Amino acid sequence: MTYNDLILEFDAGAAVLTLNRPGKLNSLTWAMHQEIKSALDEVEASGVRAMLLTGAGRGFCAGQDLADLDLSRPETIADTIEENYNPLVERLKALPIPVVCAVNGVAAGAGANIALACDIVLAARSASFLQAFSRIGLVPDSGGTWALTQRLGEARAKALAMLAEPLLAETAEAWGLIWKAVDDDQLMAEAWALTQRLSTQATAALGLIKQAVQAAPTNSFSAQLALEAEFQRIAAASEDFHEGVTAFVEKRKPAFKGR
């Protein structure tokens, strides 16, 4: 399928989804959200075992396209949150495959929080994360208050959200908001190598790891132990576990199939 504002490519068992409205820093319109839904349907149906999300041009995503709003009907503003943004970040977190995000430039507003909803976030050293919402009288959405508070604590979460100052990629890494800041000219190569590497791992187990880590903040220690036991039962029954142990014993590289 072809898209107006996205590029979706498949290669070597992985998908690359590129937001492609570079002239508007890949800010998101209602129509673009519908394309993203279709693209994620395509990714899931394809059976790929990892996905890379990035943006075209000098920005990753500047959040909601502010020209694509009907200010005379403020109730529609909440509609797009419920219809588009919340389902998107929930879906990224629910996908049973690892999602790598390559933040190639500024990630602002919901764009920052969509990046933070991905599993492993790499950012170009020149990129920044900007909770732009308060600049226009909004509150962070798309999970921003959750991700910032979980990863950075209340003091930094409140200051970033209220002051709406850009957080540079290297600081985001140092503070534990993202996995890694990468030299600009290395970003895509590194992100793609990581995505490919993940796509050849025991990806069913990676999907379970993703769900377990996401469940941890709201679980008690005992509940988390129970979840780990349940997931380990599933993982231990997989073909990949059998292959992993067999390959170890035979001193060879495992050939995982994601089953």
Of the listed pieces 77-85, 168-176, 200-208, 217-225, which binds ligand T3D according to CB under 6 A? 77-85
Q: Is the separation of the CB atoms in 201 and 195 below 8 Å?
A: no
Does 64 engage in binding with ligand T3D (CB under 6 A)?
A: yes
- Shorter beta-carbon distance to ligand T3D: residue 67 or 155: 67
Q: How far is the CB of 85 from ligand T3D (least distance, A)?
A: 6
Does 60 engage in binding with ligand T3D (CB under 6 A)?
A: no
- Catalogue the E-assigned strands of the chain: 6-11, 14-19, 51-55, 59-61, 99-103, 106-108, 120-124, 128-130, 167-168, 180-182
Among 108, 120, 121, 181, the residue binding ligand T3D under the rule CB under 6 A is: 108
- Shorter beta-carbon distance to ligand T3D: residue 45 or 67: 67
- Shorter beta-carbon distance to ligand T3D: residue 30 or 175: 30
* Strand-pair category, 59-61 with 106-108: parallel
- Shorter beta-carbon distance to ligand T3D: residue 27 or 199: 27
Which residue is it, tokens 């919901």? Answer: 110
Does 133 engage in binding with ligand T3D (CB under 6 A)?
A: yes
Does 141 engage in binding with ligand T3D (CB under 6 A)?
A: yes
Chain position whose Cβ is nearest to ligand T3D: 63
Measure the CA dihedral 24/26/29/32, to 10°.
140
Binders of ligand T3D among 12-51, rule CB under 6 A? 24-25, 27
Helix axes 239-249, 221-236, angle to 10 degrees: 80
| C-alpha closest to that of 201 among 244, 256, 242 | 256
| C-alpha closest to that of 205 among 143, 138, 254, 132 | 254
Does 209 engage in binding with ligand T3D (CB under 6 A)?
A: no
Size of the site for ligand T3D (CB under 6 A): 23
Which residue is it, tokens 């599933």? Answer: 234
Does 123 engage in binding with ligand T3D (CB under 6 A)?
A: no
Q: How far is the CB of 25 from ligand T3D (least distance, A)?
A: 4
Sheet with 120-124, edge to edge strand ranges: 6-11, 14-19, 51-55, 99-103, 120-124, 180-182
Residue type, 6: L
Does 138 engage in binding with ligand T3D (CB under 6 A)?
A: yes
Among 136, 139, 213, 255, the residue binding ligand T3D under the rule CB under 6 A is: 136
Judged on CB neighbours under 10 Å (0-12, 13-18, 19+), 35 is buried
The residue ranges that bind ligand T3D (CB under 6 A) are 24-25, 27, 62-67, 69, 77, 80-81, 106, 108-110, 130, 132-133, 136, 138, 141
